[in-house]
């Protein structure tokens, strides 16, 4: 069977940082079953180009991923597939399809929805379609049934991730990806684990992957790293796990194995602020140059409200240890969580001044994602209902305590506090450079963002930190 897997065009066309690893894993399953696989990463494609590609491939089956964010792009792609290749079966998976399979059948002409972790369900579906067997016996599936749909038995999560076939990296031209902007090296992403034992109120990761932390063996990960290095010329890696450091002993073992490879390779990861000097030193020796932390807030009350499993003191200690060991610490923040006030924003500004993150990325507002605690709270408060996801393709922001304009005011309060307190021209140069080179925004919009952040500081002779070209104000 000829199978086409599509990562839909982004709402704002932009060069993606990394290939769609979920589709790559699904593609590896199909390839192992003997099918012909084509993976199209259309993140920066326009619709006519994608239409032509579908026509050229003429697939018998098409697989799509549906995220809650930009779900409308998946819906539009499914309709385009039906228009161009009416004979093709359409299969949709991903977080939004898992949460709301009925939405997929209402909004698209899809034939099947894969719920949750997709590899084994997709494998069994392909076998059933090839053999003509009853698809009702395929676990983890939803299928169209007249004007409604039917769910099959729930599939259990994969316990031994080493049993999954190797991702098909050869499907991707890595030179065409943005990669790790701060290295300017040919980059790739690797996922070494699934699941998270924590239950942050806004995060859908545990909803999709489960609360049990499941890992690939260190040897299995090292084989993929060696292949990326020798076969694809990769010199920088992002370990795309939700939390690489959560299992200290495993992270130490992985770091030791990477050190033993003696490759000219650097890497970054996201981790928990509950780290120690020995672990960070081992990671640094293995090539880790940057750690990203979900700091979220400098307010103990806000951290408690969103169920973060650490304290402000844990954050301070982690950033101090990173600096001591030579790892650059980055901070992800949310401005507008439940419990946010002008005082809590000021606490976050003070924390940023204390820890001096290499880069801090504030998310203006907190997204409401299906099946999270925040989603359930928003339902109770009447902020949102399930039908809203059908009526609009918008991203919904939590407004239980502040209006959108008030959230904007809180974000500006944070931005001005950061600019006045730290003088963030170097930080803003990096942000502007990344946006400029990714094609995300026009230079004029970048300058508008810069003016908002630096309202009380003059902008003169700003240069892109990559190419050193002047950005005229």
Q: Give the neighbor-by-neighbor strand order of the sheet with 112-114.
A: 36-41, 2-7, 61-65, 89-93, 112-114, 141-145, 148-151
Task: State the pLDDT at residue 415.
Answer: 84
Is it true that domain 179-422 has CATH number 1.10.1270.20? Answer: no
The answer to whether the Cα torsion of 398, 402, 407, 411 is positive or negative is negative
CATH 3.80.30.20 in the chain: give the residue spans. Answer: 179-422
Task: State the pLDDT at residue 361.
Answer: 78
How many CA atoms within 13 Å lie on the side-chain side of 314?
17
* pLDDT tens-digit series, residues 95-104: 999 999 999 9
β-sheet bridge partners, residue 65: 93
For the chain, which residues score pLDDT lower than 70?
Answer: 421-473
CA–CA dist 294, 275 (Å, integer): 13
| DSSP state at residue 355 | H
* pLDDT tens-digit series, residues 369-382: 999 999 999 999 99
DSSP-derived pairing of the beta strands 148-151 and 141-145: antiparallel
* pLDDT tens-digit series, residues 265-290: 999 999 999 999 999 999 999 999 99
Residues in Cβ contact with 444 at an 8 Å cutoff, skipping those fewer than 6 apart: none
Tokens at 324, concatenated: 């001591």
CA nearest 310: which of 271, 252, 282? 271
Q: Where are the beta strands (DSSP E) in 302-358?
A: 328-335
CATH 3.40.50.280 in the chain: give the residue spans. Answer: 2-151
CATH number of 2-151: 3.40.50.280
Phi, psi (degrees; rounded to nearest 5) at 136: -65, -15
Task: State the pLDDT at residue 428.
Answer: 54
């Amino acid at each position: 069977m000829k199978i086409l897997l599509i990562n839909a065009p982004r709402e704002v066309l932009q060069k993606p940082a990394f290939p769609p690893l979920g589709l790559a894993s699904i593609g590896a399953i199909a390839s192992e079953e003997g099918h012909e696989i084509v993976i199209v990463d259309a993140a920066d494609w326009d619709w006519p180009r994608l239409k032509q590609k579908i026509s050229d491939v003429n697939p018998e089956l098409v697989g799509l991923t549906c995220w809650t964010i930009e779900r409308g792009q998946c819906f539009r792609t499914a309709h385009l597939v039906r228009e161009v290749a009416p004979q093709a079966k359409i299969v949709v998976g991903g977080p939004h399809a898992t949460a709301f399979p009925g939405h997929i059948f209402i909004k698209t002409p899809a034939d099947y929805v894969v719920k949750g972790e997709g590899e084994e369900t997709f494998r069994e579906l392909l076998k059933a379609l090839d053999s003509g067997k009853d698809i009702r016996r395929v676990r983890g599936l939803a299928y169209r049934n007249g004007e409604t749909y039917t769910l099959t038995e729930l599939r259990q999560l994969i316990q031994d991730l080493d049993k999954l076939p190797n991702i098909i990296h050869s499907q991707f031209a890595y030179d065409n990806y943005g990669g790790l902007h701060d290295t300017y090296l040919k980059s790739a992403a690797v996922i070494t684990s699934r699941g998270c034992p924590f239950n942050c109120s806004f995060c859908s990761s545990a909803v999709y992957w489960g609360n049990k932390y499941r890992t690939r063996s260190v040897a299995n990960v090292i084989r993929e790293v060696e292949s990326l290095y020798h076969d694809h010329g990769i010199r920088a890696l992002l370990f795309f796990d939700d939390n690489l450091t959560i299992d200290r002993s495993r992270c130490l073992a992985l770091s030791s194995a990477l050190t033993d490879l003696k490759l000219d390779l650097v890497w970054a990861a996201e981790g928990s602020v509950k780290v120690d000097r020995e672990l960070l030193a081992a990671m640094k020796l293995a090539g880790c140059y940057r750690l990203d932390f979900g700091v979220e807030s400098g307010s103990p009350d806000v951290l408690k409200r969103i169920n973060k499993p650490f304290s402000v003191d844990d954050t301070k200690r982690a950033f101090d240890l990173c600096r001591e060991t030579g790892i650059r610490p980055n901070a992800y923040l949310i401005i507008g969580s439940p419990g946010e006030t002008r005082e809590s924003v000021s606490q976050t500004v003070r924390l940023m001044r204390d820890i001096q993150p290499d880069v801090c990325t504030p998310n203006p507002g907190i997204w409401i994602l299906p099946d999270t605690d925040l989603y359930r709270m928003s339902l109770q408060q009447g902020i949102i209902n399930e039908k809203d996801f059908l009526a609009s393709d918008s991203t919904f922001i939590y407004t239980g305590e502040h209006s959108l304009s008030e959230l904007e005011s809180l974000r500006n309060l944070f931005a001005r506090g950061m600019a006045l307190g730290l003088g963030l021209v170097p930080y803003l140069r990096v942000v502007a450079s990344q946006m400029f080179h990714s094609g995300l925004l026009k230079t004029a919009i970048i300058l508008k963002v810069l003016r908002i952040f630096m309202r009380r500081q003059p902008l003169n002779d700003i240069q892109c930190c990559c190419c050193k070209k002047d950005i005229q104000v």
